[in-house]
């Protein structure tokens, strides 16, 4: 039996909570370093005279890495164990980050971005699978909301550190590396809570993309807008006249909005039609980001708009994850989560390049236009799905497993599971 299958099918409540807490703790430390590192890398490149388009292309290498590595993660996790693979990915991330300081050549940053983001992608796939696999039915939205809240706290700390220590020298890189090193500690204490993956996924993870299309495309929409904002919101602040410290804190504002919104959004996803919730999230986020050109003269109003946008838009990711965990278990869930992250990575590929091009065309407000356009396109897709697919999305617990015929060459867009006790019809998004 592989390392990935040594965990028992039934995990006791204490071990379950230890696994969830370890995964949340580890990925939150990673989030702190990401929120420190992404604006830091953008500012460093901008100080070197690199154009926004070139900065965007370099950041888009992260999307390429996510697309390339994602297909391999579920099967690797099934062979060696999700916890062990997560630990290995954390070590790679920790070792790679300081190399951005060591190498000053933009050409060298492309392979570094690839390796760094491939390991980060593995961390997120496995940590979210770990949480989803261990979360009790009926409380999945709440637990993923807590995950989003704690992760957002981590994301808010990184830019605050950058605002204090600045972007000069090795110090910000050293702090980020130290935090990343600490992220491995919780996982070491929770290897016994490794989620069970008894069977290999039924085919490629691509088979899972069409099961809940509003969820998977929510991953794309959030990946594109989140990476675009993280990569350019600090530069946006500089371009509208803020000093470096205030510009870096815009990333904190983006993350702080998540802190107050993720638990309420998670609870809502347990109780209402998630298709309509995703539509509301997309439209509200688009309205918030389009306010930026109007309020750019005011530091306070820019911070409010960015915080509100960050709080609402992150619901695309949380609500999408709730859907996957409600429908699938074990290796199937790992494959579906990989597909979700694949779409997020595809968004990471599109978002920074589009945001950089938008800022080149309309400096700096093209950033807001590009982000809003992506969200409105997703909202139109949501409206189309709601109109063309009848029924009501099942908000509560779903069947334990969704069987996908191995011979099928076309995934049904909306497989309907047996009716749950709540009385809803259980139609997928």
Domains of the chain, by residue range, sit at 9-388
CB 55 within 8 A of CB 307: no
Q: What is the pLDDT of residues 63-105, one digit of tens each?
A: 788 778 888 888 888 888 888 899 999 999 999 999 998 888 8
CATH architecture group of domain 9-388: Up-down Bundle (1.20)
Q: What is the pLDDT of residues 15-49, one digit of tens each?
A: 778 888 888 888 788 888 777 887 888 888 888 88
The CA distances from residue 332 to 100, 133, 268, 352, in Å, are 36, 10, 25, 31
Q: Mention every residue, 6+ apart, whose C-beta is less than 8 A from residue 182.
A: 29
Q: What is the pLDDT of residues 281-297, one digit of tens each?
A: 999 999 999 999 999 88
Angle in degrees, 0-180, between the axes of helices 140-165 and 244-269, rounded to the nearest 10: 180
- The three-class DSSP label of residue 389 is coil
pLDDT reading at 135 higher than 50:
yes
Strand-pairing partners, residue 427, are 393
For residue 283, the model assigns a pLDDT of: 96
For residue 303, the model assigns a pLDDT of: 92
Q: How remote is the C-alpha of 106 from its chain's centroid?
A: 26
Residue with tokens 């065309």: 361
DSSP state of 71: G
CB 297 within 8 A of CB 246: no
Strand-pairing partners, residue 393, are 427
Listed residue (388, 225, 228, 252) closest to 316, CA to CA: 225
- For 427, phi and psi rounded to 5 degrees? -70, 140
pTM: 0.70
The b/e string for 192-224 (b: 16+ C-beta within 10 A; e otherwise) is: ebbbbbeeebbeebebbbbbbbbbbbbbbbbbb
pLDDT reading at 408 higher than 60:
no
Q: What is the mean pLDDT of residues 218-223?
A: 92
Greater confidence, 212 or 264?
Answer: 264
Angle in degrees, 0-180, between the axes of helices 140-165 and 13-47, rounded to the nearest 10: 30
Q: Mention every residue, 6+ apart, whose C-beta is less than 8 A from residue 3.
A: 79, 80, 81, 84, 194
- The three-class DSSP label of residue 393 is strand
- 196 pLDDT band (50/70/90 cuts)? low
Nearest 5°: CA angle at 303, between 298 and 305?
Answer: 95
- 112 pLDDT band (50/70/90 cuts)? very high
Q: What is the pLDDT of residues 393-403, one digit of tens each?
A: 444 444 333 33
pLDDT reading at 414 higher than 70:
no
pLDDT reading at 422 higher than 70:
no
Residue with tokens 């996957």: 324
CB 112 within 8 A of CB 99: yes
The percent of residues in the chain predicted with pLDDT above 90, rounded, is 17
């Amino acid at each position: 039996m592989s390392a990935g299958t040594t965990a028992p099918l039934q995990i006791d409540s204490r071990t379950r909570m230890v696994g969830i807490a370890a995964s949340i703790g580890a990925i939150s430390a990673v989030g702190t370093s990401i929120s420190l590192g992404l604006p830091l890398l953008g500012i460093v490149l901008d100080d070197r005279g690199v154009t926004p388009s070139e900065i965007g292309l370099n950041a888009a290498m992260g999307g390429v890495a996510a697309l390339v590595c994602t297909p391999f993660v579920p099967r690797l996790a099934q062979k060696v164990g999700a916890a062990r693979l997560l630990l290995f990915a954390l070590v790679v991330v920790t070792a790679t980050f300081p190399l951005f300081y060591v190498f000053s050549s933009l050409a060298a940053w492309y392979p570094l971005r690839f390796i760094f983001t491939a390991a980060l992608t593995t961390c997120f796939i496995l940590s979210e699978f770990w949480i989803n696999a261990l979360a009790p039915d009926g409380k999945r939205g709440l637990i993923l909301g807590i995950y989003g809240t704690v992760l957002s706290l981590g994301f808010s700390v990184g830019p605050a550190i950058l605002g204090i220590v600045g972007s000069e020298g090795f110090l910000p890189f050293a702090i980020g590396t130290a935090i990343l090193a600490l992220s491995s500690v919780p996982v070491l204490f929770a290897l016994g809570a490794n989620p069970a993956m008894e069977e290999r996924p039924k085919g490629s993870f691509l088979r899972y993309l069409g099961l809940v299309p509003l969820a998977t495309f929510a991953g794309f929409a959030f990946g594109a807008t989140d990476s675009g904002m993280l990569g350019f919101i600090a530069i946006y602040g500089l371009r509208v006249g803020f000093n470096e410290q205030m510009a870096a804190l815009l990333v904190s504002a983006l993350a702080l909005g998540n802190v107050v919104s993720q638990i309420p959004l998670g609870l809502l996803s347990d109780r209402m039609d998630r298709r309509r919730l995703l539509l509301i999230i997309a439209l509200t986020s688009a309205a918030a980001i389009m306010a930026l050109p109007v309020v750019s003269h005011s530091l306070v109003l820019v911070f409010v708009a960015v915080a509100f946008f960050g709080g609402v838009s992150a619901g695309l990711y949380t609500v999408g994850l709730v859907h996957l965990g409600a429908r699938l278990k074990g290796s199937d869930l790992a494959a579906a989560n990989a597909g979700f992250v694949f779409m997020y990575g595809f968004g990471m590929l599109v978002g920074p390049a589009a945001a950089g091009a938008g800022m080149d065309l309309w400096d700096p407000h093209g950033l807001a236009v590009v982000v809003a356009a992506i969200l409105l396109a997703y909202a139109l897709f949501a409206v189309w799905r709601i109109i063309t697919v009848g029924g009501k999305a099942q908000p509560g617990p779903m069947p334990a497993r969704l069987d996908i015929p191995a011979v099928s060459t076309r995934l049904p867009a909306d497989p309907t599971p047996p009716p749950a006790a709540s009385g809803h019809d259980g139609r997928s998004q």
